[in-house]
């Protein structure tokens, strides 16, 4: 299935039904009087996050959603039927943005979360509603209120615990394939990964977390160079970032700084997230190269650097355990905030 993380759609709630002018006319009833019923309520537009979706591809082919009008009132004081709501199912992690693409209208970040984006119009009053002691035969009835309409942008931000970042060909796809059941495309040329990928890492029967692999970043990505930085939104919700650096490529410090600069330029709190640095492809380096590049990277970053190989899995179990510790800490903080 093709991955699509942005879509623009049109939504319109239903108009309210019209009230009716009617009078009671029955045999042997001397004074009939008005009995026109009210109109029914128009249908709402509701968005719902569901767990079995992971792309917005459906909205490429269906871009207009309209709810039905409420039923008109009728004689004998009968109210029109309310129109059913239109429920639009979206993947968990979908944000609903206004047409300006900046104003956040709703964030559906949990399965089952629902939001009513457009409310259906109220039904109009029938003439029975205007009966008074001085106006016993009103002939006034109202039209239903119009519904709401708007163009909105849907933006999907994947729900993952750990985000993979790095330059192209840093070994992110190889690492994802080695640690999970995901099967991303792997090749020896830059920008092999064109769309975000998710993989579930299982350390034991009760310990697991989700890793998100995004296309590689290059210098100037925040200005649109390469594939740009639009895919960084998929790691905004992560508990930690795994920064993979190709140790065999040479200047590892420059590679680390390039990605850090792009994270800071993007914003969204990415630069402040816990970062686990891994020097990848250790099987393609000599022990002297590993030692020297690790020390240089630790001096520049001021953090511990782990040495791994996604192909031979050297150092991978220790790295996964370190990542899971960050995930556990983030989950505990989130549970504490929800408990308050």
Which residue positions form the known binding site for GTP?
166-173, 191-195, 213-216, 280-283, 309-311
Share in percent of the chain as helix, strand, coil (round to 5): 25, 25, 50
Contact 162, 210 (CB under 8 A): yes
Helix (H, G, I), strand (E, B) or coil at 105: strand
Contact 331, 239 (CB under 8 A): yes
Angle (CA) 4-112-153 rounded to 5° is 35
Alpha-carbon distance of 136 to 116, in angstroms, equals 40
Contact 88, 96 (CB under 8 A): no
Phi, psi for 191 (deg, rounded to 5): 55, 40
Phi, psi for 319 (deg, rounded to 5): -65, -45
Angle (CA) 175-177-179 rounded to 5° is 70
Helix (H, G, I), strand (E, B) or coil at 319: helix
Alpha-carbon distance of 105 to 295, in angstroms, equals 47
Contact 149, 13 (CB under 8 A): yes
Q: Which residues are annotated as a binding site?
A: 166-173, 191-195, 213-216, 280-283, 309-311
Q: Which residues are annotated as a binding site for Mg(2+)?
A: 173, 193
For the record, the structure tokens of 319 come out as 């790295």
Alpha-carbon distance of 317 to 307, in angstroms, equals 11
DSSP-derived secondary structure for 170-190:
SSHHHHHHHHSS------SSS
For the record, the structure tokens of 36 come out as 């026109």
């Amino acid at each position: 299935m093709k991955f699509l993380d942005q879509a623009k759609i049109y939504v319109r709630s239903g108009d309210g039904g019209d009230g009716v002018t009617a009078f009671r006319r029955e045999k042997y009833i001397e004074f009939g009087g008005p009995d026109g019923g009210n109109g029914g309520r128009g249908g709402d537009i509701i968005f719902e996050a569901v767990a079995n979706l992971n792309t917005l591809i459906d909205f490429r082919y269906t871009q207009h959603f309209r709810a039905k009008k409420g039923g008109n009132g009728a004689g004998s004081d009968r109210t029109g039927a309310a129109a059913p709501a239109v429920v639009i199912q979206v993947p968990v992690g979908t944000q609903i943005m206004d047409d300006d693409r900046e104003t956040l209208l709703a964030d559906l970040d949990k399965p089952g979360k629902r939001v009513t984006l457009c409310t259906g119009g109220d039904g109009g009053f029938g003439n029975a509603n205007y009966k008074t002691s001085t106006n016993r035969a009103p002939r006034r009835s109202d039209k239903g209120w119009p519904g709401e309409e708007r163009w909105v942008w849907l933006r999907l931000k994947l729900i993952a615990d750990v985000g993979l970042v790095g330059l192209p060909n840093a070994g992110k796809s190889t690492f994802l394939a080695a640690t999970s059941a995901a099967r991303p495309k792997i090749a020896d040329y830059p920008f092999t990964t064109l769309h975000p990928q998710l993989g579930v890492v299982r350390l034991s029967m009760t310990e697991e977390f989700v890793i998100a692999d995004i296309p590689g970043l290059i210098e100037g990505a925040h200005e649109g160079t390469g594939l740009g930085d639009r895919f960084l939104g998929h790691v905004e919700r992560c508990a930690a970032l795994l920064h993979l650096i190709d140790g065999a490529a040479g200047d590892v410090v420059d590679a680390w700084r390039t990605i850090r600069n792009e994270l800071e330029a993007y914003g969204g709190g990415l630069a402040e997230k816990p970062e686990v640095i891994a020097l990848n492809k250790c099987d393609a380096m000599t022990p002297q190269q590993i030692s020297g590049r690790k020390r240089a990277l630790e001096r520049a970053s001021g953090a511990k650097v782990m040495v791994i190989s996604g192909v031979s899995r050297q150092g991978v179990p220790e790295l996964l355990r370190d990542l899971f510790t960050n995930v556990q800490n983030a989950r505990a903080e989130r549970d504490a905030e929800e408990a308050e």
